Copies of this chain bind each other. A is one copy, B any other.
Amino acid sequence: MSYVFDFGATESDKHLLGGKGAGLAEMTKLGLPVPPGFTISTEACRVMLSEGELPEQMWKEVDEAVARLEEKTGRTFGAGPVPLLLSVRSGAVFSMPGMMDTVLNLGCNEEVVRALEEWSGDAHFAWDVYRRFLQMYGDVVLGVPDRHFQAVLSELRGKRGVDSDADLTADDLRDAAGRFKALIREHADRPIPSDPREQLRGAIEAVFHSWNNRRAIDYRRIHGIPDDLGTACNVQMMVFGDLGDDSGTGVCFTRDPATGAPEPFGDYLPRAQGEDVVAGIRNTFSLDQLAELHPGPHAELLDIMRRLEQHYRDMLDIEFTIEKGVLYILQTRVGKRTAQSAVRLAVKMVEEGLIDRNEAIMRVDPDSIEQLHRPQIDTSADVAPVTTGVAASPGAAVGRVAFDADRAVEMAADGNGPVILVRPETTPDDIHGMAAAAGILTAQGGKTSHAAVVARGMGKPAVTGASGLVIDNSAKRALCGEHDIREGDMITIDGTNGTVYVGEVPLVEPEETPELAELLSWADEVRTIGIRANADTPEDARKARALGAEGIGLARTEHMFMGERLEIVQTIILTQDPEIRQDALDRLERQQVEDFEGILEAMDGLPVVVRLLDPPLHEFLPNRMELEHEILRRVWAGRSVADLQRMWSEVARWEEDNPMLGLRGVRLGLMFPELYRLQAGAAAQALVRRIRAGGDPHLEIMIPLVSTAPELERMREMVEEEIAAVAAEAGLELHVPIGTMIELPRAALTAGEIAKAADFFSFGTNDLTQMTYGLSRDDAEGVFLGDYLEQQILAFNPFQTLDTAGVGRLIRIGTEEGKAANPDLVVGVCGEHGGDPASIAFCMEVGLDYVSASPPRVEGARLAAAQAALSRGEAERRDV
């Protein structure tokens, strides 16, 4: 078995040659002007990882490959007349940009410099190449910090009175080379070898060892790349973009990576090596300017771009160099792109016949779709964030700071422009404020905190857990570094990347992307799982429908008990007068009928799953601590507290140490049947109104937090009684499927029993994850979930992506046994995971009928479902 492969001499196998090596091999085979070279395979790296050193045979093969290279190029490694210089670059299977090491201009020593000078007739070039080599090798292979070299260059530039290294003289550069060698002697434990073969050995070892440097390991952790893949190492003849005015180097994209426009796009820098382009020291030329400078190479480059696009059937990112008027291609890979560009490119390439629709579907990241509809920070604005938090909900927003929900509502209504709600963290009490605000900023919480989940559901930008943000609610003031932020001050937040700015930063409104609708229509054709939305209001329902939702998988009803209705609810809980109580119940019922009617109308013809009241009763009561403080205040002031005593005792009565595990959901429904009956009756009345209005309403009622079959059986009976009463009064037949959330492990484990009393199941994966892990999302996010993820105790955040081994196993058990017991059972998912692409793929595999996502994630879910269907089809075809 060989470790070393000349470019183009073998299959372009990415796993063996790495991404860069495979690209070079493929381009060589296509006959493109690639400087010759060879790839040392990832297998050599894996030997090093398992045995501690690179295989001996590899070095022999490297020597042979260098000899072939000398022959092929007519140049000599380490000597004149035309010296062969090499670039030595890493190249892993999955791109890890900038994480590993590179050595350029290798094969230099004093003798070679002289030969270079003679060959090029350019002393400046020759010594610049040498100092570049010394600097890079000293840093990368010998571990001398680059700042020492930079200090020397800086001193020389100062002496010479110039800004750029390019303006130093040949003498300056000779001087720099000498001082670099001295620096290396001083700081490294061995001198720089003058033998080019020894240089090459050091560089190859450094490249392979860099697989295990800290930042590469971290990068792999973050991106889920296995540690045992290893990297390849590419050794290639140097071509010089700094060899006079007819030389230069550049980077180009075959189409516009920002907008997806079908024109090539690139930067070119004359008299430069590649690193100078990246360093951004001088202004670059556009491709049009290149056409004027070098029409021949430019035309050739455009032609190559076309050929590569045809070959790879994708938008590509290409590195090229022009050496004395001759074009060389140094690297190509699939180009990174914005969400908008991804969508446009995919659709356009189908039109062009480059790819088919399925391929187009696979080309777009479903998570990115959401960004298409949100404003973004204008990247041309030169502003620095004052802090960074979690990118909780994408998009940017500018507005005046409000420190509580009520003020947010008032300020949003005052006609003075949008508001940003700033809170330590949010709770269900803040919903009206969040609805009124243009964006949400919190000091605590992560990507699945209340603020994040609700903001995503509302489609509003949010930054959570902003570090260093200290909020003093009572003083209506927040401190952030040296900034003292008061109510009404302008701030800007960017939920796409988690940044926070003081003042007004210009935003860019989203451009229309008409190609999206087409792409999604293709997705709808191939996907095999239904997509519904979680929506609690008529507005959200309409929005969701417009985004393609095929019904509502979860309409939460608790917010219908909040806001101005809270007083009615408190009356129901607190009064002892049956008449006052009944009056409050009646008022609430009338309002609920309208709530449901609006949602059913917005989703006419499609299913609407209404979940009955879920949260613990005490959430509708005042905070006990505040109440106690008020009582103490009055007591010490000698005032009466009688009126507060009763309130206090009710609050204390319903207080729970672990409300998540307490009196909520169906338990509340069984203990306070009037509330559930009210909701069921109101929903049935809304159904009647819609039928009479000539609509086609499809109401379904969902009972939350069931853990035993009898809970569902009794509640079903109660709900059916209410529906029957409404039906009898209206003289109509009402068909209302009744089902349950499966959100407790026991419900999944006994699904066979529970399914007998259910028309449908909906996995509430948020609670199911909490119970399965014994982990409160909100408590954990503030304290240790971050550490757990960082230390890889958790490989992923189970509140974002479904834990297939634990929670997923329960979903599988629940689905299989539920459907076995009741073949008509419809099964879906309505937790946060309903909008997560990886989780959607799992839901399909398990055989769920639909997923339900928050409205802004509906489009992404449609795409993700299509991708999962295509991947499954692919996998099945492979199995055949």
Report A857 CB to chain B, min CB distance, Å: 26
Tell whether A628 is near chain B: CB-to-CB under 8 Å. yes
The chain B residue sitting closest to A746, CB to CB, is B806
Report A459 CB to chain B, min CB distance, Å: 27
Number of residues on chain A facing chain B (CB within 8 A): 56
Q: Is the CB of B793 within 8 A of A656?
A: no
Q: Is the CB of A657 within 8 A of B707?
A: no
Report A50 CB to chain B, min CB distance, Å: 22
Report A814 CB to chain B, min CB distance, Å: 12
Report A53 CB to chain B, min CB distance, Å: 28
Other-chain residue from B661, B745, B746, B750 in contact with A660 (beta carbon distance below 8 A): B661
Q: Is the CB of A779 within 8 A of B810?
A: no
A750 surroundings in chain B (CB, below 8 A): 805-806
Q: Is the CB of B774 within 8 A of A743?
A: yes
Which of A248-256, A765-773, A838-846, A867-875 is the interface stretch?
A: A765-773
Tell whether A22 is near chain B: CB-to-CB under 8 Å. no
A714 surroundings in chain B (CB, below 8 A): 791, 793
A636 surroundings in chain B (CB, below 8 A): 633, 636
Name A330-367 residues within 8 Å CB distance of B.
Answer: none
Q: In the complex, A74→B843 CA distance in Å?
A: 80
The chain B residue sitting closest to A715, CB to CB, is B793
The count of identical subunits is: 2
Known: A767-B774, A793-B710, A793-B714. A783 touches B745 (CB 8 A): no
A710 surroundings in chain B (CB, below 8 A): 792-794
Q: In the complex, A408→B42 CA distance in Å?
A: 73
Q: Please list 27 pairs of residues, one from A and one from B, whose beta carbons are closer than 8 Å in the complex, sorted by A's number.
A: A624-B625, A657-B659, A657-B776, A657-B779, A658-B658, A658-B659, A658-B660, A662-B776, A662-B780, A662-B783, A663-B780, A667-B784, A670-B784, A670-B787, A671-B784, A671-B787, A707-B773, A710-B792, A744-B772, A745-B772, A745-B774, A746-B774, A746-B805, A746-B806, A750-B805, A771-B772, A771-B774
A708 surroundings in chain B (CB, below 8 A): 793-794
Tell whether A775 is near chain B: CB-to-CB under 8 Å. yes
Tell whether A572 is near chain B: CB-to-CB under 8 Å. no
The chain B residue sitting closest to A670, CB to CB, is B793
Q: Is the CB of B663 within 8 A of A779?
A: yes
A793 surroundings in chain B (CB, below 8 A): 670, 708, 710-711, 714
Tell whether A753 is near chain B: CB-to-CB under 8 Å. yes
Q: In the complex, A779→B778 CA distance in Å?
A: 20
Q: In the complex, A662→B659 CA distance in Å?
A: 13
Report A632 CB to chain B, min CB distance, Å: 6
Tell whether A749 is near chain B: CB-to-CB under 8 Å. yes
A803 surroundings in chain B (CB, below 8 A): 746
Q: Is the CB of B776 within 8 A of A661?
A: yes
Q: 4 tightest A-B contacts by CB? A: A746-B806, A661-B776, A744-B774, A745-B745
Name A776-834 residues within 8 Å CB distance of B.
Answer: 776, 778-780, 783-784, 787-788, 791-794, 803, 805-807, 809-810
Name A268-290 residues within 8 Å CB distance of B.
Answer: none
Name A696-748 residues within 8 Å CB distance of B.
Answer: 705, 707-708, 710-711, 714, 743-746
A767 surroundings in chain B (CB, below 8 A): 774
A632 surroundings in chain B (CB, below 8 A): 629, 632-633
Report A710 CB to chain B, min CB distance, Å: 5
Report A98 CB to chain B, min CB distance, Å: 29
Binary per-residue interface labels of chain A (547-584) against chain B in the complex, 1 for a CB within 8 Å, 0 otherwise: 00000000000000000000000000000000000000
Report A833 CB to chain B, min CB distance, Å: 15
Q: In the complex, A806→B772 CA distance in Å?
A: 13
The chain B residue sitting closest to A767, CB to CB, is B774
Q: In the complex, A7→B628 CA distance in Å?
A: 73
Report A719 CB to chain B, min CB distance, Å: 16
Residue in A628, A658, A705, A749 with the greatest tally of chain B CB atoms within 10 Å: A658
Report A642 CB to chain B, min CB distance, Å: 17
A625 surroundings in chain B (CB, below 8 A): 624-625, 628
Other-chain residue from B657, B667, B773, B784 in contact with A746 (beta carbon distance below 8 A): B773
Q: Is the CB of B809 within 8 A of A749?
A: yes
A805 surroundings in chain B (CB, below 8 A): 746, 749-750, 753
Q: In the complex, A270→B778 CA distance in Å?
A: 76
A753 surroundings in chain B (CB, below 8 A): 805
Q: Is the CB of B774 within 8 A of A810?
A: no
A745 surroundings in chain B (CB, below 8 A): 745, 771-772, 774, 806, 810
Report A446 CB to chain B, min CB distance, Å: 15
The chain B residue sitting closest to A784, CB to CB, is B671
Q: Is the CB of A774 within 8 A of B705?
A: yes
Known: A710-B793, A750-B806. A779 touches B662 (CB 8 A): yes
Q: In the complex, A779→B805 CA distance in Å?
A: 30
Known: A746-B806, A784-B663. A656 touches B711 (CB 8 A): no
Report A588 CB to chain B, min CB distance, Å: 23
A772 surroundings in chain B (CB, below 8 A): 707, 744-746, 749, 771
A667 surroundings in chain B (CB, below 8 A): 784
Q: Is the CB of B628 within 8 A of A770?
A: no
Name A616-670 residues within 8 Å CB distance of B.
Answer: 624-625, 628-629, 632-633, 636, 656-663, 667, 670
Report A802 CB to chain B, min CB distance, Å: 12
Q: In the complex, A625→B624 CA distance in Å?
A: 10
A661 surroundings in chain B (CB, below 8 A): 658, 660-661, 770, 774-776, 779-780
A774 surroundings in chain B (CB, below 8 A): 660-661, 705, 707, 743-746, 767, 771
The chain B residue sitting closest to A806, CB to CB, is B746
Binary per-residue interface labels of chain A (659-698) against chain B in the complex, 1 for a CB within 8 Å, 0 otherwise: 1111100010011000000000000000000000000000
Q: Is the CB of B806 within 8 A of A658?
A: no
Q: In the complex, A810→B767 CA distance in Å?
A: 18
Report A445 CB to chain B, min CB distance, Å: 12
Q: In the complex, A787→B671 CA distance in Å?
A: 8
A784 surroundings in chain B (CB, below 8 A): 663, 667, 670-671
A705 surroundings in chain B (CB, below 8 A): 774
Q: In the complex, A447→B633 CA distance in Å?
A: 39
Q: In the complex, A438→B714 CA distance in Å?
A: 44
Known: A784-B667, A793-B711. A746 touches B807 (CB 8 A): yes
A771 surroundings in chain B (CB, below 8 A): 745, 771-772, 774
Report A790 CB to chain B, min CB distance, Å: 12
Seed contacts A658-B776, A744-B774, A746-B803; 7 additional CB < 8 Å A-B pairs: A662-B776, A662-B779, A662-B783, A714-B793, A745-B745, A746-B772, A749-B806
A749 surroundings in chain B (CB, below 8 A): 772, 805-806, 809-810
Q: In the complex, A807→B749 CA distance in Å?
A: 9
Q: In the complex, A667→B807 CA distance in Å?
A: 20
The chain B residue sitting closest to A664, CB to CB, is B774
Q: In the complex, A61→B753 CA distance in Å?
A: 43
Q: In the complex, A714→B793 CA distance in Å?
A: 8
Report A2 CB to chain B, min CB distance, Å: 38
Known: A784-B667, A803-B746. A658 touches B773 (CB 8 A): no
